[in-house]
Amino acid sequence: MLRATDLTKAYGEVQALNGADLSVEPGQVVSLLGRNGAGKTTMLSIIAGLLRPDAGSVELGGIDALAKPEAAAKLLGIAPQETGIYTVLTVRQNLEFFGELSGLNGSARASRASEVAEQLGLTSLLDRRAGKLSGGEARRLHTACALVHAPKLLMLDEPTVGADVATRLQLIEAVRGLAAEGAAVVYTTHYLPEVEALDADIVIIDDGRVLAEGTREQLVAEHELRGLRFVVDGGLPSGLQWDVTEVGEGTYRVLGDLDMRDLLAAFGPESDRLVSVEALKPDLETVFLAVTGNRLDAEPDGGPDARAAAQTTEEVGS
Ligand code: ATP
């Protein structure tokens, strides 16, 4: 359905995409994983015809989307990060308006509006003005507007930011339902449990390049990361020779083929300050770390924000 090849894009000095590829088949959900600034939005914008690449090609349903953007646009629905609904229109009017823009007319438009409202739990809100929706409801409407014309390729850029658990579940169910009906879906998120819930294939992007792709199982098998995570009372011993990363308050991670005995030996007389130790578990978080050398929630260049993020989020293997 989608074949984007060798996409390259610079914004002045910033090389946002550096020869990135993305392919999605009908019925497939691909989760695009990358840190802030990795190039995900740039990639989606190029595929959606909102941005010209410096080089590369985009083929959508057999159409050269860069040469024929209008024909390609009919095949796709995109929900960008910022919600783009009309607050003075009702939920139904929003859905019908976006349906009309995509070429739906008359009764088809009305029935698709009702269908997607049902899928995303908006039926009881159809006559309410969009400006009077809660944040989660507005986000569901934003997504519903992208899928009202039953696109063959649906691209959702972090659709669950700020959404509560019920909204997340509804969105995930709706996306799975669309894929089951044959749509190709690209889904970006920083939230790994969603990737698992979607049962999505994964593409890891960093610095504008695709570094790994495959199913969760394939990636976990290929990029197993060995190491320990441990909690220390009172900070690391001053003479510790290991390359240790602090990943939370008093919590550290060290990579390598190590076990508990190595840790006890390294701490020597100070080993009584070790509160807990566990092996890193093979999961998507460790895959991401193994592939990119970074945590998914860290800032691109590390620094204070990354440190703050590391201290406030769950860590590898927890
Ligand atoms: P996020 O997870 O934060 O949404 P992303 O993976 O979507 O990030 P992009 O928005 O594609 O990343 O940005 C890729 C790089 O290009 C970043 O370094 C970003 O600062 C830069 N960039 C994006 N848009 C512009 C722009 N209009 N002008 C200049 N630089 C830009």
* pLDDT value of position 297: 67
Are the C-beta atoms of 274 and 263 separated by less than 8 Å? yes
Range of weakest confidence among 99-108, 117-126, 245-254: 99-108
Specify whether the CB–CB gap between 230 and 251 falls below 8 A: yes
- Label residue 13 by pLDDT band (50, 70, 90): very high
Tokens 């441990």 correspond to 230
Choose the residue to mutate in 9, 13, 42 for probing ligand 1, maximizing ligand atoms within 8 Å of C-beta. 42
Task: Give the pLDDT score at 305.
Answer: 36
pLDDT value for 316: 30
The residues near 308 (Cβ < 8 Å, ≥ 6 apart) are none
Q: Are 137 and 58 in contact (CB under 8 A)?
A: no
CA 189 – ligand 1 centroid, Å: 15
| Contact of 177 with 144, CB cutoff 8 Å | no
What is the identity of the amino acid at 65?
A
| 42 pocket-lining for ligand 1 (C-beta < 6 Å) | yes
Residues 316, 174: Cα–Cα separation, whole Å: 29
The pLDDT tens digits of the residues spanning 288-308 come to 888 888 777 654 444 333 333
Give 318's pLDDT tier (boundaries 50, 70, 90): very low
Paired residues of 31 in beta bridges: 187, 202
- Domains of the chain listed by start with CATH number: 2-216 (3.40.50.300), 226-281 (no CATH)
Which is nearest to 221 in space by CA: 286, 276, 170, 278? 286
Average pLDDT of the segment spanning 246-259: 88
Contacts of 263 (CB under 8 A, 6+ apart): 228, 230, 254, 271, 274, 277
Q: Where are the beta strands (DSSP E) in the chain?
A: 2-11, 14-24, 29-33, 55-60, 63-64, 76-79, 153-157, 184-188, 201-206, 209-214, 227-232, 244-248, 251-255, 274-279
The token pair that represents 84 in the structure block: 């783009």
| pLDDT on residue 57 | 97
202/265 Cα distance (integer angstroms): 39
* Listed residue (66, 72, 58) closest to 22, CA to CA: 58
Residues 126-169: pLDDT tens digits? Answer: 999 999 998 888 888 999 998 888 899 999 998 888 778 888 88
pLDDT digits (tens, 9 = 90+) for 14-35: 999 999 999 999 999 999 999 9
Kindly state the average pLDDT of the residues 245-250.
86
Determine contact, residues 159/138, Cβ cutoff 8 Å. Answer: no
Ligand 1 and 37: CB distance under 6 A: yes
CA-CA-CA-CA dihedral for 241, 247, 251, 254, to nearest 10: -40
CA of 66 to the centre of ligand 1 (A): 21
Q: What is the pLDDT of residue 307?
A: 34
Task: Indicate if the alpha-carbon torsion angle 90, 70, 200, 43 is positive or negative.
Answer: negative
- Predicted confidence (pLDDT) at residue 311 exceeds the cutoff of 70: no
Percentage of the chain exceeding pLDDT 70:
93
pLDDT tens-digit map of 65-118: 999 998 898 899 888 877 788 989 999 999 999 888 877 888 888 898 999 999
Q: Give the mean model confidence (pLDDT) for residues 213-218.
A: 94
Sheet containing 2-11: order of strands? 14-24, 2-11, 55-60, 63-64
39 pocket-lining for ligand 1 (C-beta < 6 Å): yes
Closest residue by Cα to atom 25, ligand 1, is: 11
pLDDT at residue 136, as a whole number: 83
Q: Report the pLDDT value the prediction gives residue 38, as an integer from 0 to 100.
A: 93
Ordered DSSP codes for 262-286:
HHHHHHGGGGGGEEEEEEPP-SHHH
Q: For the chain, what percent of residues have pLDDT higher than 90?
A: 45
How many angstroms separate the Cα of 192 from the Cα of each of 160, 182, 188, 288?
Answer: 12, 24, 10, 10
